[in-house]
Amino acid sequence: MINYIVKLYREGRELALVELAYFVITLLAFAIAGVVALFNQSLGVSILVVPLVSLIACVMNVVAWALVKLVAEQLANIKQAKKAEKATKK
């Protein structure tokens, strides 16, 4: 697992690392909430807010990342088009 994380880091796949971190946080919080709920049900249910917030944050992060990539690609396409236009004018 550690090798996979290092590989993602070296490849520059930040979004995959962030998604993995949110997934781990969600699983850990869910497991902790389950164990705590065995002893105190209301506290266990209250702890379930953590994985819910983690999942919401993950979804929002993925959407924001996709929008940023889309805008970056569009800007790169516009820049390429301008360079090609300048080259044809000369």
Query: What is the extent of the structural domain holding 45?
Result: 2-89
Polymer length of the chain = 90
Residue 30 corresponds to which tokens in the numbers above? 């869910």
Residue 9 corresponds to which tokens in the numbers above? 């880091």
Residue 26 corresponds to which tokens in the numbers above? 């969600």
The predicted pLDDT at position 90 comes to 62
Which of these, 20, 36, 32, 29, lies nearest to 53 by C-alpha position? 29
Which residue stretches of the chain have pLDDT < 70? Answer: 90
Domain count for the chain? 1
Which of these, 26, 15, 32, lies nearest to 52 by C-alpha position? 26
What percentage of the chain reaches a pLDDT higher than 90?
Answer: 9
DSSP classification of residue 1: -
